[in-house]
Amino acid sequence: PAPFDHADENAITFVDKPALLKKIGESRAGAILVPRHVTQAGNANLLCVENPRLAFAKIMQLFYPRRPPFSGISAAATIGRAFCCGSDVNIGPGVYIGDRVTVGDGVTIHPNAYIGDDVTLGEASEIYPNVSILEKVVIGCRVIVHANSVVGSDGFGYTPDGQYHFKIAQVGIVQIDDDVEIGAGNTIDRATFGRTWIQEGVKTDNHVHLAHNVTVGAHSIIVAQVGIAGSAQIGRHVTLA
């Protein structure tokens, strides 16, 4: 796979913009993904599809499949009591796993991640280095959490007593549904009561903050440095930038 302007006879590329469609005949690419309405362009080898960009993304996964950098459970990991572990799990050195943690099939946990008590990780999820997933967080299947993110930190809850700010216990959870990807350096706070809820297919960029009791609707996109205040309700397929 290669970008249009650099693709040679050994590369596959894609075109989905009118300006590039006019230049197809000049390309040296071995194959070009194009919209279905494109029928000919000199001697170029065209692959006509509904969505060239999506097709190209799927092709890239074939050339660059995700592979864990290690295999099995490291002897240098610390694992607590009543650990329920699926098959084909990879846990790197320096990982800490608390008590009563459940990990599904095909999960990968990179070095130095922290997994608190009573956490659930669904199958084929991947937790990158230095991530902290605190107690009672529920994570679905095929979830990716990138490096240095914190899931389940206390919500920011205080009440004044006239002189000081008295901390309100944060006793809820964070629930992350299937096929969510959390960027690097995110902070997702647990609920005061109930749950902070990241629904199916949500993608967050780096440095995003989701406060306590927030709900982010399915398949929404949250771009870098967005902060969502406590108890806000975000709908489905929303983009915040």
Instruction: Report yes or no: 79 and 97 within 8 Å, Cβ to Cβ.
Output: yes
CA angle 222, 108, 98 (to 5 degrees): 95
What is the C-alpha to C-alpha distance for residues 117 and 134, in angstroms, rounded to an integer?
Answer: 7
What is the C-alpha to C-alpha distance for residues 34 and 11, in angstroms, rounded to an integer?
Answer: 15
Q: At a CB cut-off of 8 Å and minimum separation 6, what does 16 contact?
A: 34, 35, 51, 52, 53
Active-site residue among 146, 212, 219, 237? 212
Q: Could you confirm whether 212 is annotated as catalytic?
A: yes
65 burial type by CB count under 10 A (0-12 exposed, 13-18 middle, 19+ buried): exposed
| Residues with active-site annotation | 212
